[in-house]
A and B are shown apart, each in its own frame.
Chain A
């Protein structure tokens, strides 16, 4: 191992860091609001075995939230999402959580849903069909806020304490006439 061979590689990281920062900034500026993607339909089963399609939620504002039992930030975020859901569900908002636990840990899912008294819909994506469609990197938690026209208003990767405030403001903005 020689020390002088390392410097070009380290230089490469800084060049690409600079490049990415520039690209991302310009991306934020040029992406117009009208570029929202349509979600399309999908069907999963809930914990009672009933089929639930995205279309079932009609023209509501929907937050799709992907989570798993082993995901620590998900455990912090979900009770806060439930509070937001309870505050706005009467105004045309729906929280749809999609659990990506595999089939072998389904008992854990049922236990967790009961323990925290989640009352919002919990859909099971055992074969990761839906998460792969919207979030192929499978980062958790991951959520998508969808407007009344079925278009993706925003996406949220990860959870930091405080994120729920900004999310609730977005929901209120979409719900406002």
Chain B
């Protein structure tokens, strides 16, 4: 495509939503006021050589190309009724065509989500795409997780009704992930999994809620996907799964405590018929005790063979295979922690928060301990490992608007037998914001990991971290520098910028600059130039491996 054509195309893309504008109007035949809203996000990327190491070796195939991604959200609201649509487009410029690229970078122009809703006080109906969650996400969790570039909805219908003290939610639909994967920039095929559920909650007393729920999942009943194997990342794809459970919630106990307990049973038939059915269960208990300036939190979990996921097409070679999680039980660890096993594990966490005399200082400490099946030995269930996570920290408010939070932690995974992998991690998180006058401020935020891993027969150390230093001028702009590093590839604590540990150049230190400008309260512009660290990112026990980025990224968000 000639560059001049591209420039015209981008100009059209960028000006189109602005020229439309937002507006209110009245429907003349029903005399109702309506509101039309537009949220437009445009991202332009130029990918330079990121000096990465792919799944099978050095990876020169994801370099020197560009992409234009556009996300247009439209919404029409008429009192309790709303109609929304999201259209995503992706256009690649000089998309890699090397034979080493197994799954192609595909241009895509398609409506992604479509919803019609009625949200009254006692009745809510969603037709089209919707999110859903039952219990503490133990029975069902279908929602957006931007940090992992996940946005799965159910395409079908959801009805929620309140009849006196009884709340009923019924839903059914096909799993509908965003078809363009923001991590790999490849296309995902819809899994066509059928998911249905029913939840009933009764509130017999002001502070007591009883819940019962059931969820049915049939994986790809019409066999629309080609899958490479039944074993995915150490677990077997189910044919179907049924989850039944209930919960008791004491919302407030004499203004001193709250309690929550949930149990779920999962019946599961696996895709590989020779294997026995793997039924599982999950028990969770959580409670807070409030004692003036002191808060005590206790949580307990016990999960056995409790895992429910699907996978998109993995064998046709055209689409990127991706694992989709339909449940996300609490991990009881910091949210961004890489939790290797949250499906066969038992343990508890105790956390204490103390804000002395209700002042500007908060002290906190938590200890979590678990015993989990050893994931390195799938076929030997008697092999297990101990996991500990101790965290202490402090938060301080100062100068009326400044805030500093620092915490350190130690996490260890130790097998209870003389083999298996061992992981020791010492981590530091810091977040400081300092006001300088009325409208100016400095901030520093980041984390550092000192890790020691023993994967027989070798043992090694590595460093991983990312730090951002930024200056902000309210309400106009923020300018920052980002330093990232990850020395796991070279299995060393030396901060070598580019290592050739395996005979290939791989970047380990990353440096970038960023600029965020609020052109108005409704128009935000972000520019990033340089390199950004890749590697695993985790949220609530689910992780994805991001490739490092090198190049320039321009993002604009307009709300009309």
**Which of chain A's residues have a CB closer than 8 A to the CB of B559?**
135, 155, 157
Q: Is the CB of B353 within 8 A of A10?
A: no
Q: Is the CB of A13 within 8 A of B474?
A: no
A19: which of B11, B77, B121 is its contact (CB, 8 Å)?
B11
Closest chain A CB from B515 CB (angstroms): 11
The residue in chain B whose Cβ has the minimal distance to the Cβ of A28 is B520
The residue in chain A whose Cβ has the minimal distance to the Cβ of B476 is A160
**Which of chain B's residues have a CB closer than 8 A to the CB of A47?**
251
**Which of chain B's residues have a CB closer than 8 A to the CB of A132?**
84, 131, 144
**Which of chain A's residues have a CB closer than 8 A to the CB of B10?**
12, 15-16, 19
Q: Is the CB of A161 within 8 A of B6?
A: no
Q: Is the CB of A102 within 8 A of B77?
A: no
Query: Taking A12-B44, A49-B203 as contacts, is the C-beta distance between A155 and B521 under 8 angstroms?
Result: yes
Q: Is the CB of B15 within 8 A of A19?
A: yes
Cβ proximity bits A29-55 to B, threshold 8 Å, 1 near / 0 not: 011000111111111000111010100
Closest chain A CB from B354 CB (angstroms): 9
Residue A121, interface by CB 8 Å: no
Closest chain B CB from A55 CB (angstroms): 8
Closest chain A CB from B330 CB (angstroms): 4
Q: Is the CB of B441 within 8 A of A35?
A: no
Q: Is the CB of B119 within 8 A of A43?
A: yes
Question: Which residues 420-477 of B have a CB within 8 angstroms of A?
Answer: 431, 433, 435, 438-441, 445, 472-475
**Which of chain B's residues have a CB closer than 8 A to the CB of A28?**
519-520, 523
Q: Is the CB of A1 within 8 A of B49?
A: yes
Q: Is the CB of B64 within 8 A of A20?
A: no
Q: Number of contacts between A and B (CB, 8 Å)?
A: 254
**Which of chain B's residues have a CB closer than 8 A to the CB of A36?**
24
Cβ proximity bits B234-261 to A, threshold 8 Å, 1 near / 0 not: 0000000000000001011000001010
Residue A76, interface by CB 8 Å: yes
Q: How many residues of B contact A (CB 8 A)?
A: 115
Q: Is the CB of A40 within 8 A of B3?
A: no
Residue A126, interface by CB 8 Å: yes
Residue B537, interface by CB 8 Å: no
CA distance A165 to B73 in the complex (A): 31
CA distance A135 to B530 in the complex (A): 28
Q: Is the CB of A43 within 8 A of B121?
A: yes
Question: Which residues 1-30 of A have a CB within 8 angstroms of B?
Answer: 1-2, 5-6, 8-13, 15-17, 19-21, 23-28, 30
The residue in chain B whose Cβ has the minimal distance to the Cβ of A27 is B18
Closest chain A CB from B408 CB (angstroms): 17
Query: Taking A5-B64, A51-B121 as contacts, is the C-beta distance between A103 and B252 under 8 angstroms?
Result: no
Residue B341, interface by CB 8 Å: no
**Which of chain A's residues have a CB closer than 8 A to the CB of B335?**
70, 105
Closest chain B CB from A94 CB (angstroms): 18
**Which of chain B's residues have a CB closer than 8 A to the CB of A72?**
405, 431, 445
Closest chain A CB from B400 CB (angstroms): 8
B131: which of A16, A35, A129 is its contact (CB, 8 Å)?
A129
Q: Is the CB of B137 within 8 A of A103?
A: yes
Q: Is the CB of B46 within 8 A of A10?
A: yes
**Which of chain B's residues have a CB closer than 8 A to the CB of A1?**
49, 60, 63-64
Q: Is the CB of B66 within 8 A of A12?
A: yes
The residue in chain A whose Cβ has the minimal distance to the Cβ of B131 is A127
Q: Is the CB of B7 within 8 A of A15?
A: yes
Closest chain B CB from A158 CB (angstroms): 7
Interface of B is mostly: strand
CA distance A37 to B25 in the complex (A): 9
CA distance A24 to B23 in the complex (A): 17
Cβ proximity bits B40-84 to A, threshold 8 Å, 1 near / 0 not: 010010101100000000001001101000010101011110101
Q: Is the CB of B401 within 8 A of A80?
A: yes
Q: Is the CB of A166 within 8 A of B474?
A: yes
Query: Taking A43-B121, A127-B132, A156-B521 as contacts, is the C-beta distance between A162 and B84 under 8 angstroms?
Result: no
Query: Taking A37-B35, A161-B441 as contacts, is the C-beta distance between A20 and B143 under 8 angstroms?
Result: no
Question: Which residues 476-533 of B have a CB within 8 angstroms of A?
Answer: 478, 516, 518-525, 527
The residue in chain A whose Cβ has the minimal distance to the Cβ of B4 is A8
Residue A163, interface by CB 8 Å: yes
**Which of chain A's residues have a CB closer than 8 A to the CB of B558?**
24, 27
Question: Which residues 84-138 of A have a CB within 8 angstroms of B?
Answer: 102-107, 110-111, 114-115, 117, 126-129, 132-133, 135-138
Closest chain B CB from A4 CB (angstroms): 11
CA distance A117 to B357 in the complex (A): 12
Q: Is the CB of B209 within 8 A of A23?
A: no
Residue B290, interface by CB 8 Å: yes
Q: Is the CB of B141 within 8 A of A104?
A: yes
**Which of chain A's residues have a CB closer than 8 A to the CB of B297?**
107, 111
CA distance A26 to B560 in the complex (A): 13
**Which of chain B's residues have a CB closer than 8 A to the CB of A26?**
18
Q: Is the CB of A20 within 8 A of B438?
A: no
Cβ proximity bits B139-153 to A, threshold 8 Å, 1 near / 0 not: 001011010000000
Cβ proximity bits B274-304 to A, threshold 8 Å, 1 near / 0 not: 0000000000001010100001010100000
B144: which of A39, A114, A128 is its contact (CB, 8 Å)?
A128
Residue B540, interface by CB 8 Å: yes
**Which of chain A's residues have a CB closer than 8 A to the CB of B44?**
12-13, 16
Q: Is the CB of B519 within 8 A of A136?
A: no
Residue A58, interface by CB 8 Å: no
The residue in chain B whose Cβ has the minimal distance to the Cβ of A151 is B24
**Which of chain A's residues have a CB closer than 8 A to the CB of B36?**
37
CA distance A28 to B10 in the complex (A): 21
**Which of chain B's residues have a CB closer than 8 A to the CB of A110?**
258, 288
Residues on B lying within 8 angstroms of A by beta carbon are 3, 6-7, 10-11, 14-15, 18, 21-24, 33-37, 39, 41, 44, 46, 48-49, 60, 63-64, 66, 71, 73, 75, 77-80, 82, 84, 86, 93-94, 119-121, 124, 130-133, 135-138, 141, 143-144, 146, 162, 203, 209, 249, 251-252, 258, 260, 286, 288, 290, 295, 297, 299, 328-331, 335, 351, 353, 355, 358, 362, 397, 401-403, 405, 431, 433, 435, 438-441, 445, 472-475, 478, 516, 518-525, 527, 540, 552, 554, 556-560
Nearest 5 Cβ contacts at the A-B interface? A162-B474, A162-B439, A161-B441, A24-B519, A104-B137
**Given A103-B136, A154-B521: 15 more A-B contacts, CB < 8 Å:** A1-B60, A9-B46, A9-B93, A26-B18, A38-B33, A104-B138, A107-B299, A111-B297, A111-B353, A127-B143, A128-B131, A133-B77, A137-B39, A155-B559, A160-B475
Can you name 13 A-B residue pairings with CB atoms under 8 Å? A1-B64, A6-B48, A12-B3, A37-B37, A43-B120, A49-B203, A53-B121, A103-B135, A135-B559, A160-B472, A161-B401, A161-B440, A162-B474
